[in-house]
Amino acid sequence: MPHQRDRNARATSDRFVSASCNTEDDGMQRFAIRFAFDGTTYQGFQSQPYQNTIQDQLEHRLRGLLKRHVRIIAWGRTDAGVHAQGAVATVDLTFAEVERFSNMGGKDSDKADTNEIKAAMFLHSVLKEFACNTGFPGNAQMRYGSISSKSVVAVSSEFDARYSALWKRYVYYVCSGSFYDQSPFVWTRYAWQVRERLDLAAMEEAAKLLSDKQHNFSWMSVIQAGELRDPCRTVKLTVEKVSIQIESDDTPYFLRGEDAVIYKITGTCDFFLYKMMRRIVGILVAIGQGKSDIATLTKCVHAFDDDDENKEKMKIPNSLLETAPAKGLCLDHIEYSIPI
């Protein structure tokens, strides 16, 4: 895979070039790609110098297909190790490229389909599963299928993967067992493993406290320099146990776990601040472990919601400031006004 040393230096200018030539009048057609990825061996979504990222892999694949420089515009970004089932990005193709790809749609295309539909079908087929460089020399084929297109559709030039989003949904999995070796093998990759049994009722109560009402989430997030978005958001949170069949001798070894319980934490909001969802999960797990309690959480929430003048001096317990590991987090869905 080509080196990335110059890519970030060009990123800003590339975005302006893309923005200036992405309308139908300029001979370009925009396509939205919904895709999934296993983030275990990647350094997050966004392109970074000297790193192996999801964006780099997608653009490398498209660049090989289009034989030109390609810059995709995504819904946002993820940290290293975070997964996705419903990530969205856009790419702009020339009308000539659309026509060329429309003739490569294969047996699934219909004669009545437009060129845009046929081109979208072809893009989906080449991005459905492909080999990704793991970042280690000689292992270019090692991560086959770790990035996979779910759908591709032609959209208006006004569509923006980030700013057109209505809301996002994240899912986080926590695997709880008396001993780590009793947790299903596969969950070591996709869930935060904790030794203690968690108090589901207490976690549900904490989730209810943080849900369905506007709260100031600045203390539950990492506010980055230049962040202009209002930290006061309304989030919908749910906590539930997930049933898994582990009793049969025929159960695959990577799903076996004699004493494991899986908890699914779902968060929905119009947008999430940096590390906001992982911090919320950290709070819920701390409550479930008994490291903190609802009274302490309520005091912290009210202090920031009421803009208490002493909030800056308030000592928030460390147990309520833990960031849950990235591996348990999955971007589940992004909702738009049009189907993607």
pLDDT tens digits for range 73-89: 999 999 999 999 999 99
β-strand pairing of 83-94 with 28-37:
antiparallel
How confident is the prediction for the chain on average, in pLDDT?
A: 82
Cα-Cα-Cα-Cα dihedral sign, residues 206, 209, 212, 215: negative
Of the CA atoms within 13 Å of residue 225, those in its CB half-sphere come to 0
Instruction: Using the predicted structure, report yes or no on whether residue 6 has a pLDDT greater than 50.
Output: no
Find the range with the poorest average confidence among 43-52, 67-76, 147-156, 244-253: 244-253
Type and span of the H or E element at 47: none
Find the range with the poorest average confidence among 178-187, 196-205, 211-220: 178-187
**135-171 per-position pLDDT tens digit:** 544 444 445 568 999 999 999 999 999 999 999 999 9
**Could you write out the DSSP letters of every residue in 41-72?**
TSS-SS--TT---HHHHHHHHHHHHHTS----
First to last CA, the chain: 29
Instruction: Using the predicted structure, report yes or no on whether residue 12 has a pLDDT greater than 50.
Output: no
pLDDT more than 90, % of the chain: 54
- In this prediction, residue 261 has a pLDDT band, given cuts at 50, 70 and 90, of confident
Q: What is the pLDDT of residue 46?
A: 93
- In this prediction, residue 298 has a pLDDT band, given cuts at 50, 70 and 90, of very high
What pairs with residue 93 in β-bridges? 29
Asked if residue 334 lies in contact with residue 151, where contact means CB atoms within 8 angstroms, the answer is no
Instruction: Using the predicted structure, report yes or no on whether residue 134 has a pLDDT greater than 60.
Output: no
Please provide residue 310's backbone torsions phi and psi, each rounded to the nearest 5 degrees.
-95, 5
Q: At what angle do helices 294-305 and 200-210 cross, to 10 degrees?
A: 10
Which tokens sit at 308? 């208490």
Rounded Cα–Cα distance for residues 299 and 209 (Å) = 11
With b for 16 or more beta-carbon neighbours within 10 A and e for fewer, the 167-199 pattern comes to: ebbbbbbbbbbeeeeebbebbeebbbbbeeebe
Please provide residue 125's backbone torsions phi and psi, each rounded to the nearest 5 degrees.
-65, -35
Find the range with the poorest average confidence among 4-8, 186-190, 221-225: 4-8
**What is the mean predicted confidence (pLDDT) over 48-52?**
87
Cα-Cα-Cα-Cα dihedral sign, residues 90, 95, 96, 101: positive
Asked if residue 337 lies in contact with residue 164, where contact means CB atoms within 8 angstroms, the answer is yes
Rounded Cα–Cα distance for residues 101 and 116 (Å) = 9
Find the range with the poorest average confidence among 69-78, 212-221, 272-281, 291-300: 212-221
Rounded Cα–Cα distance for residues 39 and 189 (Å) = 10
- The more confidently predicted of residues 318 and 204 is 204
- The more confidently predicted of residues 239 and 273 is 239
Q: What is the pLDDT of residue 317?
A: 86
Of the CA atoms within 13 Å of residue 108, those in its CB half-sphere come to 10
Rounded Cα–Cα distance for residues 176 and 195 (Å) = 6
- In this prediction, residue 176 has a pLDDT band, given cuts at 50, 70 and 90, of confident
Q: What is the pLDDT of residue 181?
A: 54
Which tokens sit at 281? 């999960």
Four-point Cα dihedral 180, 181, 184, 187, nearest 10? 40
Rounded Cα–Cα distance for residues 154 and 19 (Å) = 17
Q: Which of 260, 90, 64 minimizes the C-alpha distance to 165?
A: 90
**What is the mean predicted confidence (pLDDT) over 218-239?**
84
β-strand pairing of 192-194 with 167-177:
parallel
Q: What is the pLDDT of residue 11?
A: 42
